[in-house]
């Protein structure tokens, strides 16, 4: 830890916990509520970070209110519901993309905002990660 970080840690009223949110390390006191990420709106280009070959068939998502549809090599597909929820992996606040009732109903996307208008996402089957992706304007 840096000297400044050590100093801040020692002077906390309560012990602090290091929390990584979208790759940014933050000190959070126990009991501190983490804010839900802002809801995405409009079109976001997608980039699959865990399996780049998937970028040849998936290009992004278009968010309209509480709905989303994916831009794929075969056109617009895989509509889903969008709402705030908790991660099935760590309980942190996330934006959930729920594909229940579709051909990919076993998939759930969890999105976390990076604070710069972009989102990091995970596609999950239950709590098992299928892939990771990044959404940008």
Give the model's pLDDT for residue 35.
66
Residue 5 — φ and ψ, nearest 5°? -65, -40
Task: Using a pLDDT cut of 90, give the percent of the chain over it.
Answer: 69
Q: Is the pLDDT of residue 47 over 70?
A: yes
DSSP output for 54-86 = GGGTEEEEEEETTEEEEEETTEEEEEEEEEEEE
Average pLDDT over residues 118-128: 96
Q: Which residues does residue 132 pair with via DSSP β-bridges, in sequence order?
A: 122
C-alpha to C-alpha distance for 75 and 86, rounded to whole angstroms: 30
Question: Over 80: is that where the pLDDT of 10 sits?
Answer: no
pLDDT surpasses 70 at 130: yes
Q: Tens digits of per-residue pLDDT, 59-118? A: 999 999 999 999 999 999 999 999 999 999 999 999 999 999 999 999 999 999 999 999
Output the pLDDT for position 32.
Answer: 53
The mean of the pLDDT values for the chain is 82
**Percent of the chain residues topping a pLDDT of 70:** 74
Chain position carrying tokens 């409009």:
42
Average pLDDT over residues 25-47: 73
What's the average model confidence in pLDDT over 43-59? Answer: 94
Percent helix, percent strand, percent coil in the chain, to nearest 5: 10, 50, 40
């Amino acid at each position: 830890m840096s000297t400044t970080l050590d100093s801040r840690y020692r002077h906390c009223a309560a012990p602090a916990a290091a929390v990584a949110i979208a790759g940014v390390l933050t000190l959070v006191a126990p009991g501190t509520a983490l804010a839900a990420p802002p809801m995405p709106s409009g079109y976001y280009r997608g980039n699959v970070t865990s399996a780049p070959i998937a970028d040849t068939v998936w290009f992004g998502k278009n968010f309209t209110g509480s709905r989303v549809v994916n831009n794929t090599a075969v056109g617009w597909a895989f509509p889903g519901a969008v709402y705030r929820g908790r991660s099935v992996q760590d309980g942190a606040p996330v934006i959930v993309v729920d594909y229940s009732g579709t051909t990919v109903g076993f998939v759930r996307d969890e999105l976390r905002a990076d604070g710069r208008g972009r989102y990091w996402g995970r596609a999950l089957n239950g709590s098992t990660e299928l892939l990771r992706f990044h959404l940008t304007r």
